[in-house]
Amino acid sequence: MNTIITRFPPSPTGYLHVGGARTALFNWLYARHMKGKFILRIEDTDVERSTQESVDAIFEALEWLGIDWDEGPYFQTKRFDIYKTYIQKLLDSGHAYYCTCSREKIEEMRKKAMAVGGKPKYDGTCRDKGLSQSDNAVIRFKAPLTGATVIEDIIKGNIVFQNSELDDFIIQRSNGTPTYNLAVVIDDITMGINTIIRGDDHVNNTPKQILLFKALGSPLPVFGHVPMVLGSDRSRLSKRHGAMSVTAYRDMGYLPDAFINFLVRLGWSYGDQEFFTREELIEKFTLEHIGRSAGVFNQEKLLALNADHIKVTPPTKLAEYLIPFLKQKGYETNDVSYLQKVVKTLHTRSKTLQEMAEGAVFYLQDKIDYEEKAAQKFLIPSALGTLNLLIDELMQLDHFTEKGLENIFLKIMEITQLKLGKIAQPVRVALTGKTVSPGIFEIIEVLGKEPTVRRLKDAVRFISAKS
């Protein structure tokens, strides 16, 4: 069996969006599953709209997602000589010809065709004139006038186009640059691409590309056209549904593994399974499981998947992910071992890294800011005795283990005759500034003796100053 070779060919005219990222992912997963090759190609022939900024944004998004490539990136603007060679082959074999019809003349042809209920297409005026190259001439492909072109689509099934419906499309503009359909086919031939998975908005390009493959005597790749991604209201995905750049989701605190898990489920399934690790996706991904119906972008599902992935991601990795989010909040730390301990107390209660960073702030503060309502309710004179008792007991404790801390709280409960909740809430506010946080024992264990005692003493001073 031939090595499977897939590709992802974005146009650098903007950021990498959800639909593009899903296309890249499907091709990458299939190549990895089949132990094949995945090629990155930048289709930058639209020189006016292509930018280096967009190229960099695409690379950044793919790298964040962990989608690596075996060859490339190739840039179409650096391959014009290759395209010219193949265009000449098409001219020499009679599959292409020069055309000098003006835009006005072509517009007139289209109007005439539409007036009699036909398709607005080029009528072949220059098809058999045998024109030579000239300054204003384009080169057109000589499409067959009869018969049909069939896309044997692995996802949608056979799609038939009558050749009489196609026109002699342009393969080289008058300025000498190749058109999209020509460049794509030559790239796929020269790069050995044998499997093409792309959005179904490309279906209408495919018969033209099939004709070019055949005219050049090249075997056809396997085609699979994936249904588009829709918004939650089943209309075309837009910014209001979540069609932002992929890196925007990174900045919102989503994990790359959660995001690819979400993307792959927008059109692919494996039984009823929803949660997949990256390794499971590579192991299980096949083209047969891509569905024919459109995937629906569901923000709540993405959030839930992200929470699930955060729960199973090793604390070492989460700690590294968390650093830039803490930096945004003004807390510079590279102490990964301390952050790992912090993460262990937060990972089951955080849906995003942003949320986790918010929850981690109190661990990194030198001085705690108390929420006003929390302080009014719990940092009150009646809490002073409990807090002072706890300070004394903690000062005598050498090892901050959960068992040791539990014993201290049991002792204080016995002395004060208070339930744990009555003791824990003032302590929680003293240590975190909030009424909701990870478990008290967890917090004290992570903070350690000196910071814990200092925060409790600060709370005592705060209460004393008020009363």
Q: In terms of Cα–Cα distance, which of 303, 290, 300 is closest to 259? A: 303
Contacts of 124 (CB under 8 A, 6+ apart): 167, 168
Pick the catalytic residue from 129, 239, 327, 377: 239
CA distance 118 to 110: 9
- Any catalytic annotation for residue 121? no
Three-state DSSP string of 304-332: HHHHHHHHHCCHHHHHHHHHHHHHHCCCC
Q: What are the residue ranges of helices labelled H in 226-298? A: 246-251, 256-264, 278-284
DSSP state of 37: E
CA distance 431 to 29: 46
Distance of CA 279 to the CA centre of its chain: 17
Q: Residue 205 is encoded by which pair of tokens? A: 């390009």
**186 membership: H or E segment, kind and range:** helix 180-190
Q: In terms of Cα–Cα distance, which of 390, 354, 297 is closest to 18? A: 297
Distance of CA 63 to the CA centre of its chain: 10
Provide the 10 A C-beta neighbour count for residue 80: 14
Q: In terms of Cα–Cα distance, which of 111, 202, 121 is closest to 167? A: 121
Contact predicate 269/292, CB 8 Å = no
Residue 411 phi, psi (nearest 5): -65, -45
Q: What share of the chain is helix, strand, coil (3-state, %, to 5)?
A: 50, 10, 35
Which sequence positions are flagged as catalytic?
Answer: 239
